[in-house]
Structure 1
Amino acid sequence: MEKIDANDVQKMVRHWLETPTYGYLGSDYGQDAKSMLQKPISTVEADEFLDKLRNDVEILQVMPQGTVNLFSYPEDVDKLKLVIEIAGTEIKVG
Protein backbone atom coordinates (compact mmCIF):
# COMPACT_ATOMS: atom_id res chain seq x y z
CA MET A 1 0.00 0.00 0.00
CA GLU A 2 1.32 3.43 -0.94
CA LYS A 3 1.51 6.09 1.75
CA ILE A 4 0.88 9.79 1.37
CA ASP A 5 3.86 11.80 2.59
CA ALA A 6 4.46 15.50 3.23
CA ASN A 7 5.55 16.10 -0.38
CA ASP A 8 2.26 14.66 -1.65
CA VAL A 9 0.29 16.96 0.65
CA GLN A 10 2.31 19.97 -0.51
CA LYS A 11 1.61 19.06 -4.14
CA MET A 12 -2.11 18.81 -3.38
CA VAL A 13 -2.12 22.25 -1.76
CA ARG A 14 -0.12 23.77 -4.63
CA HIS A 15 -2.58 22.29 -7.11
CA TRP A 16 -5.46 23.80 -5.13
CA LEU A 17 -3.70 27.18 -5.10
CA GLU A 18 -3.17 27.07 -8.87
CA THR A 19 -6.79 26.14 -9.62
CA PRO A 20 -9.32 28.98 -9.84
CA THR A 21 -12.60 28.48 -8.02
CA TYR A 22 -15.04 26.57 -10.26
CA GLY A 23 -12.10 25.59 -12.48
CA TYR A 24 -13.65 22.13 -12.72
CA LEU A 25 -17.13 21.93 -14.22
CA GLY A 26 -19.72 21.45 -11.48
CA SER A 27 -17.23 21.85 -8.62
CA ASP A 28 -16.23 24.84 -6.51
CA TYR A 29 -12.78 23.30 -5.96
CA GLY A 30 -10.00 25.87 -6.00
CA GLN A 31 -9.46 29.35 -4.65
CA ASP A 32 -9.28 33.03 -5.47
CA ALA A 33 -6.39 34.25 -3.31
CA LYS A 34 -5.86 37.38 -5.41
CA SER A 35 -9.18 38.77 -4.20
CA MET A 36 -7.81 38.63 -0.66
CA LEU A 37 -4.87 40.81 -1.61
CA GLN A 38 -7.06 43.75 -2.62
CA LYS A 39 -8.20 44.45 0.96
CA PRO A 40 -7.04 43.97 4.55
CA ILE A 41 -7.29 40.32 5.54
CA SER A 42 -9.50 39.75 8.55
CA THR A 43 -9.36 36.70 10.78
CA VAL A 44 -12.75 35.63 9.46
CA GLU A 45 -11.57 35.71 5.84
CA ALA A 46 -8.41 33.80 6.70
CA ASP A 47 -10.46 31.17 8.55
CA GLU A 48 -12.88 30.87 5.62
CA PHE A 49 -9.95 30.49 3.22
CA LEU A 50 -8.45 27.71 5.35
CA ASP A 51 -11.86 26.05 5.82
CA LYS A 52 -12.29 25.91 2.05
CA LEU A 53 -8.78 24.50 1.68
CA ARG A 54 -9.58 21.78 4.24
CA ASN A 55 -12.87 20.96 2.52
CA ASP A 56 -11.30 20.77 -0.95
CA VAL A 57 -8.12 18.94 0.10
CA GLU A 58 -9.69 16.48 2.50
CA ILE A 59 -6.45 14.97 3.80
CA LEU A 60 -5.90 18.22 5.71
CA GLN A 61 -8.97 17.43 7.83
CA VAL A 62 -7.11 14.64 9.62
CA MET A 63 -4.09 16.78 10.44
CA PRO A 64 -3.85 18.06 14.02
CA GLN A 65 -5.22 21.48 14.93
CA GLY A 66 -2.72 24.25 14.25
CA THR A 67 -0.74 22.46 11.54
CA VAL A 68 -2.43 24.38 8.71
CA ASN A 69 -2.00 28.15 8.95
CA LEU A 70 -2.28 31.23 6.76
CA PHE A 71 -0.24 34.35 7.30
CA SER A 72 0.99 37.34 5.38
CA TYR A 73 3.96 39.64 5.43
CA PRO A 74 4.78 42.87 3.60
CA GLU A 75 7.13 42.60 0.67
CA ASP A 76 8.35 45.88 -0.67
CA VAL A 77 6.33 49.04 -0.15
CA ASP A 78 3.16 48.02 -1.96
CA LYS A 79 3.14 44.23 -1.91
CA LEU A 80 1.80 41.66 0.49
CA LYS A 81 2.78 37.99 0.38
CA LEU A 82 0.42 35.27 1.54
CA VAL A 83 1.87 32.06 2.89
CA ILE A 84 0.19 28.79 3.81
CA GLU A 85 2.10 26.82 6.39
CA ILE A 86 1.47 23.10 6.59
CA ALA A 87 3.22 21.28 9.42
CA GLY A 88 6.11 23.76 9.36
CA THR A 89 6.52 23.89 5.58
CA GLU A 90 5.71 27.22 3.91
CA ILE A 91 3.94 27.41 0.55
CA LYS A 92 3.79 30.87 -1.01
CA VAL A 93 0.44 31.87 -2.46
CA GLY A 94 0.54 33.39 -5.93
Structure 2
Amino acid sequence: MNFDVFFSDKDRHEAIDTAKQMVFLPENCYFLENLSPTINFYQNKDNEIFAKVVVSYQNCVTELVTDKPFTLKFHDNGVHQFWEYIDNGPKDKWLM
Protein backbone atom coordinates (compact mmCIF):
# COMPACT_ATOMS: atom_id res chain seq x y z
CA MET A 1 0.00 0.00 0.00
CA ASN A 2 1.30 3.45 -0.90
CA PHE A 3 0.83 5.43 2.31
CA ASP A 4 1.97 8.68 0.67
CA VAL A 5 -1.22 8.58 -1.38
CA PHE A 6 -3.46 7.15 1.36
CA PHE A 7 -2.63 9.72 4.07
CA SER A 8 -3.05 13.44 3.48
CA ASP A 9 -0.89 16.13 5.03
CA LYS A 10 -3.69 16.68 7.56
CA ASP A 11 -3.59 12.98 8.54
CA ARG A 12 0.17 13.18 9.08
CA HIS A 13 -0.16 16.28 11.26
CA GLU A 14 -2.89 14.61 13.33
CA ALA A 15 -0.59 11.65 13.97
CA ILE A 16 2.26 13.98 14.95
CA ASP A 17 -0.04 16.01 17.23
CA THR A 18 -1.24 12.78 18.88
CA ALA A 19 2.37 11.79 19.58
CA LYS A 20 3.18 15.25 20.96
CA GLN A 21 0.25 14.97 23.38
CA MET A 22 1.90 11.89 24.88
CA VAL A 23 5.10 13.78 25.77
CA PHE A 24 5.37 15.21 29.27
CA LEU A 25 7.76 18.07 28.58
CA PRO A 26 10.21 18.58 31.43
CA GLU A 27 10.83 22.10 32.73
CA ASN A 28 12.71 24.40 30.33
CA CYS A 29 11.96 22.16 27.34
CA TYR A 30 10.16 22.86 24.08
CA PHE A 31 9.36 20.98 20.89
CA LEU A 32 11.77 21.56 18.04
CA GLU A 33 9.67 22.93 15.22
CA ASN A 34 12.59 23.43 12.84
CA LEU A 35 13.21 19.66 12.85
CA SER A 36 10.26 17.92 11.27
CA PRO A 37 9.07 14.94 13.28
CA THR A 38 9.71 11.74 11.37
CA ILE A 39 6.75 9.57 10.56
CA ASN A 40 6.78 6.13 8.96
CA PHE A 41 3.68 4.09 8.18
CA TYR A 42 3.43 0.33 8.04
CA GLN A 43 0.79 -2.38 7.87
CA ASN A 44 0.86 -5.62 9.86
CA LYS A 45 -0.33 -9.07 8.74
CA ASP A 46 -3.83 -8.29 10.08
CA ASN A 47 -4.01 -5.27 7.73
CA GLU A 48 -3.91 -2.83 10.65
CA ILE A 49 -2.14 0.44 9.88
CA PHE A 50 0.43 1.88 12.27
CA ALA A 51 2.67 4.92 12.33
CA LYS A 52 6.02 5.22 14.04
CA VAL A 53 6.41 8.89 14.96
CA VAL A 54 9.55 10.43 16.43
CA VAL A 55 9.16 13.88 17.99
CA SER A 56 12.10 15.93 19.25
CA TYR A 57 12.34 18.38 22.10
CA GLN A 58 15.21 20.40 23.51
CA ASN A 59 16.12 21.65 26.96
CA CYS A 60 16.84 25.37 26.57
CA VAL A 61 19.25 25.34 29.55
CA THR A 62 21.39 22.30 28.71
CA GLU A 63 20.62 22.37 24.96
CA LEU A 64 20.19 18.58 25.13
CA VAL A 65 17.94 17.28 22.34
CA THR A 66 15.75 14.26 23.07
CA ASP A 67 14.01 12.14 20.42
CA LYS A 68 10.89 10.29 21.56
CA PRO A 69 9.51 7.47 19.40
CA PHE A 70 5.81 6.59 19.56
CA THR A 71 3.74 3.90 17.87
CA LEU A 72 0.23 4.92 16.84
CA LYS A 73 -2.57 2.76 15.44
CA PHE A 74 -4.90 4.16 12.78
CA HIS A 75 -8.66 3.68 13.24
CA ASP A 76 -11.33 4.34 10.64
CA ASN A 77 -14.88 3.42 11.63
CA GLY A 78 -16.43 4.92 8.50
CA VAL A 79 -17.48 8.11 10.28
CA HIS A 80 -14.40 9.13 12.23
CA GLN A 81 -10.69 8.58 11.65
CA PHE A 82 -8.22 8.87 14.51
CA TRP A 83 -4.84 7.73 15.84
CA GLU A 84 -4.46 5.77 19.07
CA TYR A 85 -1.25 5.52 21.08
CA ILE A 86 -0.03 1.93 21.39
CA ASP A 87 2.11 1.28 24.47
CA ASN A 88 4.72 -1.24 23.41
CA GLY A 89 7.82 0.04 25.16
CA PRO A 90 9.30 -0.27 28.64
CA LYS A 91 7.63 2.00 31.20
CA ASP A 92 10.92 3.23 32.68
CA LYS A 93 11.74 5.13 29.46
CA TRP A 94 8.19 6.24 28.61
CA LEU A 95 8.36 9.82 29.92
CA MET A 96 12.11 10.38 29.74
**Structure having the larger proportion of residues in helix:** 1
> Which TM-score band (shorter chain)?
0.3 to 0.5
> Which is greater in Rg?
2
TM-score, normalisation: structure 1: 0.36
The structure whose residues are more often strand, as a share, is 2
Please report the TM-score for the alignment, with normalisation by the length of structure 2: 0.35
